[in-house]
Amino acid sequence: MQKELQKTERELKIKNYSPKTIKSYLYGLREYFSFKGNNLVKLDQENIRSFLLHCEQKYVSPQSRNLFLNAIKFYYRNVAKEQQKINIQSAKKQKSLPVILSRNEINKIIASPKNPKHKLILSLAYGAGLRVSEVVALKVKDLDLEELTVHIKQAKGQKDRISVIPKSLINILKNLIAGKAGNDLVFESERGGKLTERTAQKIFEKALRDSGIKKEATFHSLRHSFATHLLENGTDVRYVQELLGHQNIRTTQRYTQVTNPRLKNIKSPL
């Protein structure tokens, strides 16, 4: 098993997959190999179906099952060099609306931390619509404070994009990065290294708790709220798509379900 996983990791790196995708694919493949047990190189579509059913019975989410399937397909196509196509459809994903925080709730969350750096992390994540991975990887040279823009490099899907920086954060950011070199991180850990994603998530979770908001929100809810509030302000959905870096407009359009003003103007008959 270890030999096949190493070969898969090598192929994923050659094809320039992101470290996060490589880690996820290897985990999914390890789960499948453990289930299959032997003769790993031989493609057995019925065995793959049994594995996916086994995952469903263990309450593995549709998203994770699809990731496992993609990892298996990658292995047999690129490593085992199997010519036979795997004719198994992806699991139907659950269609749930993103958790959106109101402007008032956002203000409460940002006001909650006493640490100015923690406050700024949450403010910038919301104000620029950043993922947690993008916040912790942000470098000084990525900020253009004169133009009020931030350059997010090699984000999800290995793509660059430009987003906006709120004018209200400019002076705070200038003070934070004063004396730093272009390659220095904007947000460093207490020990001087890179802030972990989990640390940033904990900052959000504590702020959410302390603000008394009961919604099941996560750090990513700041990004969801950024998109929704822009649409509520009348920003064209295609501009929001660019700021978020969505490849497909349909991904961005799901926010219109949350922010439809016509629905909000309907009063219940009770």
Given the residues 156, 180, 206, 254, select the one marked as catalytic.
156
Tell me if residue 27 is catalytic: no
Tell me if residue 209 is catalytic: no
CB 35 within 8 A of CB 51: yes
Given the residues 30, 180, 220, 254, select the one marked as catalytic.
220
Tell me if residue 246 is catalytic: yes
Concatenate the DSSP letters of all residues of the chain into one string: -HHHHHHHHHHHHHTT--HHHHHHHHHHHHHHHHHH-S-TTS--HHHHHHHHHHHHHTT--HHHHHHHHHHHHHIIIIIS---S----PPPPPP--PPP---HHHHHHHHHS-SSHHHHHHHHHHHHHT--HHHHHH-BGGGEETTTTEEEE-S-TTS--EEEE--GGGHHHHHHHHTT--TTSBSSB-TTSSBPPHHHHHHHHHHHHHHHT--S---THHHHHHHHHHHHHTT--HHHHHHHHT-SSHHHHHTHHHHS-HHHHTPPP--
Given the residues 119, 161, 229, 246, select the one marked as catalytic.
246
Cα gap 172→184, rounded to integer Å? 17
Given the residues 131, 161, 224, 229, select the one marked as catalytic.
131
Tell me if residue 220 is catalytic: yes
Cα gap 93→61, rounded to integer Å? 9
Given the residues 118, 161, 223, 229, select the one marked as catalytic.
223
Contacts of 52 (CB under 8 A, 6+ apart): 65, 68, 69, 88, 91
Tell me if residue 131 is catalytic: yes
- Residue 37 carries which side chain, given as an amino acid letter? G
Given the residues 25, 32, 76, 255, select the one marked as catalytic.
255
The residues annotated with a catalytic role in the active site are 131, 156, 220, 223, 246, 255
